[in-house]
Amino acid sequence: MIRTLGLAAALALSAPPVKASDVVELELVLAVDASSSVTSWEFDLQMQGLADAFRDAEVQGAIQAAGERGIAVSLVQWSGRDRQVLATDWMHIHSPSSSLEFADELAATPRFISGGSTAIGNAIEFSVNLLTFNAYEGLRRVIDVSGDGRTNQGIQTSQMRDAAIGEGITVNGLAILNEDPSVDHYFKSNVIGGSGAFLLSATDYQDFARAIKQKLLREIAGPPIALGPQIEPGPQIEQELGGAARSTQAARHSVTPVSPDRQDELAIPVAAE
């Protein structure tokens, strides 16, 4: 079930060209932490929170308000360097009924990855490839990374984040503070980036449902016209990432390869996974 980046790219290269009818307002990858720090109960809370969000009338209204093209969404489970799975395939959501259908898909999705290290950079790289090679053309492209820990294996997170930004992709974060109360600072410095990027925090996995709904509402609506001043991070507060807006309709092509031996300072040997 584990899909490597090389296989994903090879399969996608044989896909038919994107048609005009496949243009969507937003392409969104939901990248969910399935590493060793996430228990079965905590993982189920993540999946239930996501399913509930797409059943929510407010989220469904935001999708319809985003534009007549709708949005395309997929879900990735990730942990260590070579442990990423496209767990829920791309679905075009453009109405309450299609949103409910996607919610049912999420609710029925099993846990494909159980344990492993934390390789956020590799999760971002995998998600970038999914955005680059699929049947949709998004006017905006976003990766939504949720997790409760810092990278300890694989590609340097900030380097892969910067590569994603270079492709016109925004990376947002949802930091879950139950394991490491300061992991939101790590996400702010190393994970989020791109036009209108922001960070939300959840105090624990029971708070995940509240946070992911607010996060989806913000991502579906898109970045505000003007970004306000930053404030100190906290469990209930979102963080804006300032800076010049980058084009969200950048031409699609592969991400610049990153040397596998360039790892975060906390990197550990592969055998430790």
pLDDT in tens, 39-97: 999 999 999 999 999 999 999 999 999 999 999 999 999 999 999 999 999 999 999 99
134, 18, 5: which is closest to 72 by C-alpha? 134
CA distances from 57 to 8, 48, 203, 257 (A): 34, 16, 24, 41
List the chain residues with pLDDT less than 70: 1-21, 224-273
* pLDDT given for residue 13 in this prediction: 46
Rounded-to-integer distance, Cα 174 and Cα 172, Å: 7
Rounded-to-integer distance, Cα 139 and Cα 120, Å: 25
Q: Say if residues 138 and 72 touch (Cβ distance below 8 Å).
A: yes
* pLDDT given for residue 268 in this prediction: 33
DSSP designation for 177? T
Beta bridge partners of 29: 74, 143
3-state secondary structure 9-73: HHHHHCCCCCCHHHEEEEEEEEEEECCCCCCHHHHHHHHHHHHHHHHCHHHHHHHHHHCCCCEEE
109, 147, 100: which is closest to 127 by C-alpha? 147
* pLDDT given for residue 183 in this prediction: 97
